[in-house]
Chains A and B, each alone.
Chain A
Amino acid sequence: MICGRWVYVLWSLSLVFSLFAGSLEAQTKTVVRVGFIAEQTGVASMSGERGIRATKLAERQVNTAGGVNGTPVEVGIYDNNSTTQGTVNAVNKAIEDKVIALSGPGRSTHIQAVSPIIKENAIPALIPGTAVQLTRQGNPWLFRVRPDDSIYGTAMAQFLMRDLKLTKIGIIHDADAFGTGGADIVTETMKKSNLTPVRRERYTVGTKDYTAQLLNIKNAGAEGVVLYTTNSEDAAVIFRQIKELGIKWKIVGCPATTSQVVIDLVKDASEGAYAAVDYFADANSQSKALRDAYFKEYNQEADFLTAYPYDTLVFLVDVMKRAGTTTDRNKIRETILATKGYKGAMGTYSFTPNGDGIHEANLVQIRGGKPQYIRTISVEQQ
């Protein structure tokens, strides 16, 4: 049937290699392993790189301070290639490597995909994804470390309606869970004030030209626009094209629109735009400390992309100290939920039974190439 016995030899050899590779994986050191799911490659790698730097910074800081009661902390970077499939692989690999907890995945769509795996493996995951349903689906192992969209979306809509006093509002959002969910919340909030968006335009993440969407919104008579973009890279193109098309709108964006990635790419095209963000450098002493440390180490401005990986690791270490364990996932879980009033760079963490940790956001405006603080909004949790 098959000649070339060597083909079989080749194949057997390749499989035998996996044997060895498999046994090489097992390491026993006394460290505490945390898995960080990152966009190291792929379309969002620019954002991902910041997260990696931030979590490494946190790793160094906690280890200098003695780790978890003497045990050093090791952060494993698991690349998801910015894709959902990649995230599934990364999470599986992290679990295989016996990490005690996960930091990330970062995107709501990705979190949605790995939620069953996390639940099945009973591993705590601290997630920054803001799509509301993530913590409402009965997975007791997801802990949200950022305000969810009901806070952002509501804040953004209300700001446009009440502060800027606009009635003709358009929405441009991406097709991701985050973008679509956010757009829905904005629409609902407007409905409560008897308003409907004049136009709602959707795009697929990674689109390079938004002329069609932008002109449609313009022709519908919009005076203000809500930007719900998952990727900073996309937000950058949108800002630039709005300027190129000579459109003058009041823009209120989600946190991604204020990231340093955007500001670096668009220079002054986002000047004057507003946004709802969580991390804000001058908000409290932790955030200031993070900004200073990050700038000192990497010569870059910190933003929300850096804040949540940093905060997550520092918080996890604190949790493990309080729980008195580095191996008992259930105890860690309980300790997280019992946390009230923990002060991090992202704000104050007080966890509700379903796993939401932060309930406030900041409104900022980009002036002089930097987000300038306007005020904080907090929402009472039911």
Chain B
Amino acid sequence: MSFKKGLPVKIPFYLAVAIVLAALPMLIRSNYWVGTLNLAIIYSIAVLGLNIILGLTGQLNIAQAAFWGIGAYTAALLNTRLGWPFWATFLVAPPTAAAFGVILGFPTLKLSGRYLAMATIGFGIIINLILNNWKEFTGGVDGIPGITSPVLGPFRFSTNGSFYYLALACLILAALTQVKIKNSRMGRAFQAIKDNELAAELSGVDTFKYRVVAFALCSAYGGMAGQLFAHRTKYVSAETFFIDMSILFICMLMIGGAGSVAGSIVGACLLTFIPEWLRFLQGPWAMAIFGLAIVVIMIFMPTGLAGLAKSVGSKMAVRLRPESQKEPAELPREASH
């Protein structure tokens, strides 16, 4: 939908959303649930990263948790060993993760997509084992405790409620950046690679370069999410950043809707909250259902919930505003978000 039509309807809607978002911690009085919300936001950022490489560019990365972990450990180490504050680790963690992404991506992206998937598995395991065992540097299995809460000028973000705003700001930044990327030349190159890599290459797109860039962006997002995570939980330990989490990120993306910014966020939030709401769905129950959902979605709804919402939404739009039917025939520009 372009901004040209329906603008008056949209402003109150967005305003309402903004007010709800801003007031959320006050509305949800429980500290624990706000904490869970923060976690969902952090996951959303990581999944947004995954969306770039998998949703937009069509390459499978099964190591997003490793980049998440690299971001988290970078922040943890700089903060606890060198005393760097939040804003400093915020600036350094994503590029560090991206650097690792390039190191992994550069040699493997020269090969076909299958090899990338395998390589990311190997990379993720290696990173996890190093984080877990290099006691001198990473604290080994004991992890790194004592990370400080974010402090920006006169503002302390030490409670879940205050941290929420910080995390939300980062999420909005991440989401808007991605929307911009999607609608840019780079985004179109990604799409071309996803649709048909050979054709893209033949029409002059440097697929290798763009795939490396997509991979680096993905890992940068992961690093950002990791940095937030470290400052929120104030403790990092390698066992969190394991391939199981990478798989969960993939689940979140696929269920929410690969290729969709809103889908990435919705998927992350849903899969964080559902096991919490339905206590009996904790642990194995939730994971078994997610696994099944993936298979079902791949078969019937590959665009996930966002795709479903979009098709339902456009059908509803047709029915609600029949006058739009009378407009001059315009090739529907499916601006996928």
Interface residues of A, Cβ cutoff 8 Å to B: 1-8, 10-12, 14-15, 17-19, 21-23, 25-26, 41, 79, 81, 83-85, 88, 92-93, 96, 109, 112-113, 115-116, 175-177, 204-205
17 more A-B contacts (CB under 8 A) besides A5-B313, A7-B310, A113-B237? A5-B13, A7-B305, A8-B13, A18-B36, A19-B27, A22-B28, A25-B33, A41-B282, A83-B239, A83-B240, A84-B239, A84-B240, A88-B235, A96-B31, A112-B145, A175-B135, A204-B132
Select which of B35, B36, B266 is within 8 A of A10 by beta carbon.
Answer: B266
Question: A360 CA to B59 CA in the complex, in Å?
Answer: 59
Which chain A residues border B32 with CB–CB below 8 Å?
22, 25, 92-93, 96
Report whether A18 and B273 are in contact in the complex, using a CB–CB cutoff of 8 Å. Answer: yes
Select which of B1, B140, B283 is within 8 A of A79 by beta carbon.
Answer: B283
Which chain A residues border B265 with CB–CB below 8 Å?
11
Which chain A residues border B111 with CB–CB below 8 Å?
none
Select which of A4, A115, A116 is within 8 A of B313 by beta carbon.
Answer: A4
Interface residues of B, Cβ cutoff 8 Å to A: 1, 3, 13, 17, 20, 24, 27-33, 35-37, 129, 132-133, 135, 140-143, 145-146, 179, 233-235, 237, 239-240, 260-263, 265-266, 269-270, 273, 276-277, 282-284, 305-306, 309-310, 312-314, 316, 335, 337
Name 25 A/B residue pairs within 8 A (Cβ), A-sorted.
Answer: A3-B310, A3-B335, A4-B309, A6-B312, A7-B260, A7-B309, A10-B305, A10-B309, A11-B262, A12-B17, A15-B37, A21-B30, A22-B29, A41-B283, A84-B143, A84-B235, A93-B32, A113-B142, A115-B145, A116-B146, A175-B135, A204-B129, A204-B133, A204-B141, A205-B141
Select which of B270, B277, B313 is within 8 A of A21 by beta carbon.
Answer: B277
Question: A17 CA to B40 CA in the complex, in Å?
Answer: 14
Which chain B residues border A26 with CB–CB below 8 Å?
30
Report whether B37 and A18 are in contact in the complex, using a CB–CB cutoff of 8 Å. Answer: yes
Report whether B269 and A4 are in contact in the complex, using a CB–CB cutoff of 8 Å. Answer: no
Report whether A3 and B337 are in contact in the complex, using a CB–CB cutoff of 8 Å. Answer: yes
Report whether B305 and A109 are in contact in the complex, using a CB–CB cutoff of 8 Å. Answer: no
Question: A18 CA to B143 CA in the complex, in Å?
Answer: 31
Which chain B residues border A175 with CB–CB below 8 Å?
132-133, 135, 140-141
Select which of A2, A14, A23 is within 8 A of B262 by beta carbon.
Answer: A2
Report whether B277 and A23 are in contact in the complex, using a CB–CB cutoff of 8 Å. Answer: no
**Given contact pairs A7-B266, A175-B140, A22 touches B312 in the complex (Cβ within 8 A):** no
Report whether B142 and A177 are in contact in the complex, using a CB–CB cutoff of 8 Å. Answer: yes
Most buried by B among A2, A41, A115: A2
Report whether A12 and B20 are in contact in the complex, using a CB–CB cutoff of 8 Å. Answer: yes
**Given contact pairs A14-B270, A92-B35, A177 touches B141 in the complex (Cβ within 8 A):** yes
Question: A5 CA to B10 CA in the complex, in Å?
Answer: 10
Report whether A11 and B269 are in contact in the complex, using a CB–CB cutoff of 8 Å. Answer: yes
Report whether A112 and B269 are in contact in the complex, using a CB–CB cutoff of 8 Å. Answer: no
Question: A177 CA to B237 CA in the complex, in Å?
Answer: 13
**Given contact pairs A3-B1, A6-B312, A14-B269, A85 touches B141 in the complex (Cβ within 8 A):** no
Which chain B residues border A205 with CB–CB below 8 Å?
141
Which chain A residues border B305 with CB–CB below 8 Å?
7, 10
Most buried by A among B32, B35, B266, B337: B32
The minimal Cβ–Cβ distance linking B1 to chain A, given in whole angstroms, is 5
